[in-house]
Structure 1
Amino acid sequence: MTTPKPASARSVRSSMPSGCAANASWVLPPSSATCSAIDCSGPAQEALLPMSPMSNPAGLALLAAAALLSGCAGKSPATAGVRAPPWQTVIRDADRKRLAGLWGAWTRSLADVQQAGQGDRVGALGAMAVADAAIPAPPPPPGAYRCRSVKMGNREDGTIRTPSPPIMAGEFRPCRISVRKGLLHFDQGDGAQRVAGALYPDGDRQVFLGAMALAGESGIMAYGTDADRDQVGVLRALDDRRWRLELPWPMWQSNLQVIEIVPA
């Protein structure tokens, strides 16, 4: 086996994070022989294993590289500026748990509907009522839309305990997407129970933090004003002109509320 020639110290320092290169006084072998000193798997690892690091200059350099890189890991520019999504700093702890239970809200609600013998009503809704039907796509742009609300599941706890069917689908009504303070904002418009709130970017979805108003109320409170009215969920795309807002455990009548959003 041919031992590769060491790389120059200059080439090693140039590939290191700033703050680490200044402390590098060792010479690192080429990446093909050291697995880049980070990911040691594959043929390069097999070539190094038979040798004792203490008897091989390349092995000593590898050990020094690993030690120095681990000591500088916290200073990497790639991670120093990483922050939690803005919604993480706004959401209440109780609502964080509700949001984490989104999949459970789907499975339980669909099971309730099937158990009641109304599975055909779910089928009639198409992709809107399929838990994993969402696709990666941009959010709806600001403008006028039409929305309808579907409530599913037998609510057994919550602020108001109103006996209701396991699935209720409303009619399409005007709704709107606007921009407020740099964030998309959803407003359901009208209805006996309507929601509105901010949409925070979070990967291929938008996290919704808002509140609900009842018929006759002129406005909707800001999120965090009244825990009984707060609504949380995610907005995801079903195709390039159709979206749904999924609200788990809404505390009013159902275990899951899904709002379909289509262009007006």
Structure 2
Amino acid sequence: MKAIIRPAEERGHADHGWLDTRNSFSFGDYFDPGHMGFRALRVINDDVVRPGTGFGTHGHRDMEIISYVVGGALAHEDSTGGKGVIRRGDIQVMSAGTGIRHSEYNASHREDVRFLQIWILPSRDGLPASYRQRTIPESDKRNRLALIAGPRDSGAALPIHQDVLAYACLLDDVRIVSHPIGPGRGVWVQVVDGSVSVNGILLGCGDGLSIEDESRIEIRSAGSAEFLLFDLA
């Protein structure tokens, strides 16, 4: 098994006042040639946006962008006509494709919104731009891996244009989930809250872990925990 830990405290970090962001991979002003992504997974930003502020309208191209809300409410609007507010338990998928302009604002004037912003390279450039959002019931994630995003024929809650399976899980204390890894595939585990052990490797809040050359992983909680798992070609 080839396993590499990405410790939370070694991530890129910037506090802009309105935004506190921690970057698992190189992003914006944070550049580290040793951490440019993992396979098709290009960005994992753990963002906290202050009340009444947010990302003004800006553009993207040729990227699959997933937003996973941990707490608070995030208001979205884009040039395809996509519009909505996503809260804890909700996810959104935006295929930037040939070009999309969008804004993301904290929908509250009283409390922070925390969300993970995830970028995945698409299978090809020039796809049509689109936006979707979906509520994933907490029961679907409780002590099981819920497939929140994946290829159109994967049965995922929301489709993306890449051979990546994205799962979310809420583990109660002293619970275990396992996941098979197909030949040649790799897995990234990102801890959102709490702590877990992955094949005996202990991870805390904000830690990431890549695993390759392994046929199965077992994820065990140490207290209640929340994590995302990405299974990548």
Which category of TM-score, normalised to the shorter sequence, fits these structures?
Answer: under 0.3
Greater share of residues in helix: 1
Greater CA radius of gyration, 1 or 2? 1
TM-score scaled by length of structure 1: 0.25
Greater share of residues in strand: 2
Higher RCO (Cα < 8 Å, 6 or more apart): 2
